């Protein structure tokens, strides 16, 4: 069973933490103040973009200060009764193991907003004022209007995006330990596309490096065609590892790819993620229903049907896993995306050849592509001397020559 590199190379000590030293120092001092019995605020509110180490910093410092860590997902405890029963009692009780104390981590605070939050946030505000042990809250955006009252009761600590250079350095260390020779350009592109999200960059690197000992820029260059708020691999994890429909449905909200492309990613990966044929059959049935809804949205312009398509392609696919074991399997890049990327590259090369030669031949670029290019390829494939003369005459670069001679295929 393959181990996720985000777990395999997760730092266990504060000195190994990647960047955000100021935030880590603030949190460290606040936790230490509990040992002295003089915390300025009884709750700390950590905020910043995904994948920058907010939750990990709490785990590391709780261990270093000898606290028992109780980690909870706020979206699972969104009502007043649930919070008072679970979180409230935990903040008041002594640790079972006689260690330095108990530290409560309430993660994914955004999950509490909405109609299902029945007194949940107001209860957290009360707990932030009365807790008898450190209470740490984590969210991406502390400045959301629903957190306005809560901010005043907490020590607010900002986590920044990880700089590209630091992400590249981390990826380089992982490659060295995995025996992978990676081009600097390749690592930099992975780091840049992660947009400061170190966790996503590491997940991308692991997927891109499958069965490779050398990672080149060409292996990752198509990644530049992806725009996303959250790495697509992280989005897919929401679907294929979700325990609830609510978790899986979040994939649509955090993915900054269009819904049709998200469908392609899920469809391509379902056979690899669901090993039991009955689970896979259920998932593909759900995707077929999603496809029907998506087609009706496009043909009938009935945009209200989108929510049903989203439910089928995320929640229904997630709930299809009943017998397939949960272990890490590399996500596969949809072949359609690769094909589209290659076609875009070819179209651009043909256009450049048409413009460059059209000016010399007094022809339109379209006419060159349509009438001259097929013969050019025959010449470049079969007559190296003539090809060399034409490349010099028309000032064709190596990339264009490679395309015409089909060496890049």
Q: Give residue 111's pLDDT.
A: 66
- Does residue 192 lie in a domain region? yes
* Enclosing domain of residue 393: 336-404
Burial 142-172, CB ≥16 within 10 A → b, else e: beeeebeebbebbbbbebebbebebbbebbe
Among candidates 392, 18, 3, which has minimal Cα distance to 197?
Answer: 18
- Extract the tokens encoding 303: 């945009």
Average pLDDT, the chain: 82
User: Is 5 among the domain residues?
Assistant: no
Is 304 a member of any domain?
Answer: yes
pLDDT of res. 11: 92
Tokens for 327, please give them. 């272990």
| Domain limit, last residue, from 333, 355, 382 | 333
Residue 162 pLDDT > 90: yes
Read off the CATH number of the domain in which 78 is found. 3.40.50.300
Band of pLDDT at residue 278, cut at 50, 70 and 90: very high
Task: Assess whether 150 and 173 both reside in one domain.
Answer: no
- Is 240 part of a structural domain of the chain? no
Give the pair of three-digit tokens for residue 269: 């990966």
Residue 122 maps to a domain: yes
Instruction: Give a yes or no: residue 9 inside a domain.
Output: no
Residue 15 lies in a domain: no
In this structure, are 138 and 94 located in the same domain? yes
Does 227 have pLDDT greater than 50? no
Q: Say what the pLDDT of residue 228 is.
A: 46
CA 369 to chain centre: 40
Indicate the pairing of strand 68-73 with strand 43-47.
Answer: unpaired
Share above pLDDT 70 across residues of the chain, in percent, rounded to a whole number: 83
Mean pLDDT of 179-208: 89
Q: Are residues 319 and 375 in the same domain?
A: no
In a domain, 13, yes or no: no
Statement to judge: residues 51 and 132 lie in one domain: yes
Same-domain check for residues 42 and 131: yes
What are 321's two structure tokens?
């896993």
Residue 190 and residue 85 in one domain: no
Mean pLDDT across the stretch 30-34?
Answer: 93
At residue 96, the pLDDT reads 46
Q: What is the pLDDT of residue 336?
A: 66
Assign residue 168 the CATH number of its domain.
Answer: 1.10.8.60
pLDDT for residue 136 is more than 60: yes
Q: Is the pLDDT of residue 299 over 60?
A: yes
Query: How far apart (Å, rounded) are the C-alpha atoms in residues 405 and 309?
Result: 45
Give the per-residue pLDDT at 45.
Answer: 95
pLDDT band at 141 (very low <50, low <70, confident <90, very high): confident
pLDDT tens column, 72-115: 876 655 455 656 666 655 555 554 444 558 898 988 787 665 44
Averaged pLDDT, 18-26 = 92
Question: Which ranges constitute the DSSP H helices of 222-334?
Answer: 232-240, 245-254, 259-273, 277-300, 306-310, 317-319
30 shares its domain with 116: yes
> With pLDDT > 90 as the criterion, what percentage of the chain qualifies?
32
User: Residue 363: which pLDDT band, with cuts at 50, 70 and 90?
Assistant: confident
Domain limit, last residue, from 158, 179, 199: 158
What's the pLDDT score for residue 346?
Answer: 72
> For 236-264, what is the mean pLDDT?
79
Are 32 and 147 part of one and the same domain? yes
176-185, 199-208, 247-256, 318-327: the lowest-pLDDT one: 247-256
Predicted confidence at residue 32, as pLDDT, reads 92
Q: Say what the pLDDT of residue 303 is.
A: 76
- Same domain (yes/no): 312, 341: no
Mean pLDDT (whole number) for 270-286: 93
State how many domains the chain has: 4
What pLDDT sits at residue 172?
Answer: 96
Whether residues 120 and 179 fall in one domain: no
pLDDT beyond 80 at 409: no
Which 8-state DSSP code applies to residue 119? B
50, 72: one domain: yes
Give the model's pLDDT for residue 97. Answer: 46
Report the alpha-carbon distance of residue 284 to residue 266 in Å, rounded: 10
The tens digit of pLDDT for each residue in 310-355 reads 999 999 999 999 999 877 677 777 776 666 556 666 777 788 788 8
Beta bridge partners of 104: 70, 135
Q: Which is more confident, 33 or 405?
A: 33
391 or 315, greater pLDDT: 315
Q: Which residue has the higher pLDDT, 130 or 316?
A: 316
Residue 332 has a pLDDT of 76
- 314 & 366 share domain: no
Range with the largest mean pLDDT of 43-52, 378-387, 397-406 = 43-52
Domain boundary among 104, 136, 158: 158
- The residue count of the chain comes to 409
């Amino acid at each position: 069973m393959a181990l996720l590199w985000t777990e395999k190379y997760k730092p266990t000590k504060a000195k190994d933490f990647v960047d955000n030293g100021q935030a880590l120092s603030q949190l460290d001092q606040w936790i230490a103040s509990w040992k002295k019995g003089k915390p300025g605020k009884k709750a700390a509110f950590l905020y910043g973009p995904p994948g920058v180490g907010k939750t990990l910093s709490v785990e590391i410092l709780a261990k270093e200060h000898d606290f028992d860590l109780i980690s909870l997902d706020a979206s699972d405890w969104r009502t007043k009764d649930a919070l008072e029963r679970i979180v409230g009692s935990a903040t008041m009780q002594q640790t079972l193991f006689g260690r330095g104390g108990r530290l409560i981590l309430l993660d994914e605070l955004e999950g509490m907003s909405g109609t299902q939050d029945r007194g949940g946030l107001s209860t957290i505000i009360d707990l932030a004022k009365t807790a008898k042990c450190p209470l740490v809250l984590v969210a991406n955006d502390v400045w959301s209007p629903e957190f306005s009252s809560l901010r005043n009761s907490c020590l607010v600590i900002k986590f920044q995006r990880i700089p590209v250079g630091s992400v590249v350095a981390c990826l380089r260390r992982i490659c060295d330990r995995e025996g992978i020779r990676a081009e600097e350009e390749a690592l930099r592109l992975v780091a840049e596309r992660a947009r400061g999200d170190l966790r996503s960059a590491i997940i991308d690197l692991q997927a891109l490096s499958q069965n490779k000992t050398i990672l080149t820029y060409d292996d990752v260059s198509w990644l530049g065609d992806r725009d996303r708020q959250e790495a697509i691999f992280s989005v897919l994890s929401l679907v294929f590892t979700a325990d609830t429909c609510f978790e899986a449905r979040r994939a649509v909200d955090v993915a900054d790819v269009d819904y049709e492309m998200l469908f392609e990613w899920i469809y391509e990966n379902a056979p690899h993620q669901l090993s039991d044929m009955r689970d896979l059959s259920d998932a593909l049935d759900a995707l077929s229903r999603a496809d029907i809804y998506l087609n009706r949205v496009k043909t009938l312009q009935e945009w209200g049907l989108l929510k049903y398509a989203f439910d089928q392609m995320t929640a229904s696919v997630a709930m299809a896993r009943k017998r397939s074991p949960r272990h890490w399997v590399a996500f596969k890049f949809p072949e359609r995306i690769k094909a589209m990327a290659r076609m875009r590259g070819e179209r651009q090369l043909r256009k450049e050849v048409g413009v460059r030669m059209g000016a010399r031949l007094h022809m339109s670029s379209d006419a060159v592509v349509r009438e001259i290019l097929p013969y050019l390829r025959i010449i470049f494939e079969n007559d190296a001397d003539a090809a060399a003369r034409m490349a010099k005459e028309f000032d064709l670069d190596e990339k264009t020559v490679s395309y015409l001679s089909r060496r890049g295929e």
